[in-house]
Structure 1
Amino acid sequence: MTAEMSPIDKAKFVAAKRASDLVETGMRIGLGTGSTAAWLVRCLGERVRDQGLRIRAVATSTRTAALAREVGIDVIALDEAGWLDLTIDGADEFDGDLNLIKGGGGALLQEKIVATASDRMVVIADAGKEVEKLGAFPLPVEVIPFGWKATQKMIEEMLVSMDVLGRKTSLRMDQDAPFVTDEGNRILDLHLNRIGNARQLALALNQVPGVVENGLFIDICDAVVIGHGDGRVDLRDINAGTVEHDRLDLGESDNLFSDLAD
């Protein structure tokens, strides 16, 4: 299987594999949404099957929940879990302070709730997701359907006073219809190119009427696991100030992963 994977898929796989080693029996785990998080769910499912790992997981989307159940992970609601030991999720971008842009998969609201209800958040990503300044990836903002065009206009007016290079905004579509989140909301993507002050922007966005949440994750991530296409993987812990280097074997895996490299 790994022989057929692209270098980016290999990088995502080794990052997820390394991060799965952080999970211990008895933990309550938050599971993210997106392509890299899907690798993690498969890796944890492999440990459940082969090593008898026993965990309870809170999923950040219906599709992550379905995949987790499929591979044998016990999925529970966040209200049942109460609090989580660890959340592992992907990111669309991360900077040197481990601030993130998330929401490319459309699950930013549940992802932020789950991440902040955890003792620790770890991001898994390929090396291409690291940036000097956030903003090249469009920033998702979840808004309620009522009056979304008015909300969009208010956001565009607010951006005039922000330290950003672009101010274009667009409604995310799902083919010919607006994309709908698990909470029944819409997503506006902000094409900012570069965000000078992410903390200021995050606070300002959440003051706009109609905005539910934004995809800037500030001071939430504790560590990042960065995968490379040749099997190298780095674990950077911002709290401990440490960086660990490793290399994982990209040997053949079984059909738990057969549909993820398509």
Structure 2
Amino acid sequence: MQARVQQNNMINLKQLAGEYAANFVKEGMKVGLGTGSTVYWTIQKLGERVKEGLSFQAIPTSKETESLSKRLSIPLISLNEIDILDLTIDGADEIDSNLQLIKGGGGALLREKIVASSSKELIIIADESKLVTHLGTFPLPVEITPFSCKQTESKIQALGCQTTLRLKNNETFITDNNNLIIDCVFPHDISNPANLHTQLKMITGVVETGLFVNMTSKAIIGTKNGIKQL
């Protein structure tokens, strides 16, 4: 019973942050829509605003977000059709005090990073449980190519982490880009996310990492006391 109450409270905090973030979308904007359980509430709210007459265009970061947006009649465009987005709204698995992130728990980190880097502003939404002093408690997702995946995983392990090939329903998880996800657990906090990101990206076969550094404009956090902006 207590676990159910805690779960419901967490959903409520996600909903609080997600719906609040929808207010940043204005008439005529081009907006990136992230993936995950918190952004779900943003998309639902934006669907309501579309019915009320708001006109904007969105770029989804995953097939999941694309499907939900279509069901809610949110107009979608391709990133190839534009030069820059006004803003992107997305979630995070961990957020530190410098607004550095671990993302990719949902497996959409590559498209999320491409869309975020094409935006004037990145707004991150989360419940307060995602706030951390240092990154690294949540396993770091790293997207790799299937070709030579074992060798790539071994090179990642050489950086001092334990790795797990991500599964879904007892089968290898395949990203929307037909790649694999390696979840990495380091023995200590990630004290220098930018340096670790660079080290990982230098490994041939690594497509992208879940470290988002110097990208976030602001964070909207759902707390028991209401909305907190960072």
1:215 to 199, 210, 214: 210
Verify the 8 A CA contact 2:100 2:211 in the aligned structure 1: yes
State the partner residue of 2:47.
45
Q: Say which is worse superposed, 104-113 or 78-87, in terms of deviation.
A: 78-87
TM-score for the superposition, normalised by structure 2: 0.95
Query: CA offsets per residue over residues 38-88 of structure 1, 9 Å max, x none?
Result: 1110011111112x1111000000110110111110011111133100000
Matches within 5 A, 1:1-262: 6-50=8-52, 52-157=53-158, 159-160=159-160, 167-192=161-186, 194-229=189-224, 232-236=226-230
List structure 1 segments (4+ residues) > 6 angstroms apart after TM superposition. Answer: none
Verify the 8 A CA contact 2:85 2:118 in the aligned structure 1: yes
CA distance in 2, matches of 1:89, 1:208: 27
DSSP-derived class of the 2:38 partner:
helix
TM-score for the superposition, normalised by structure 1: 0.83
Give aligned-pair identity as a percent. Answer: 44
Query: CA offsets per residue over residues 71-111 of structure 1, 9 Å max, x none?
Result: 11001111113310000000000000000000000000000
CA distance in 2, matches of 1:194, 1:20: 33
Higher relative contact order (CA 8 A, sep 6+): 1
Deviation at 1:219, TM superposition (A): 0.2
CA distance in 2, matches of 1:143, 1:227: 33
RMSD (CA atoms): 1.5
Unaligned runs of 5+ in 1: 161-166, 237-262
DSSP-derived class of the 1:6 partner:
helix
Deviation at 1:176, TM superposition (A): 2.4
Verify the 8 A CA contact 1:8 1:228 in the aligned structure 2: no
Aligned residue pair count? 225
Which amino acid is 2:217 matched to?
D
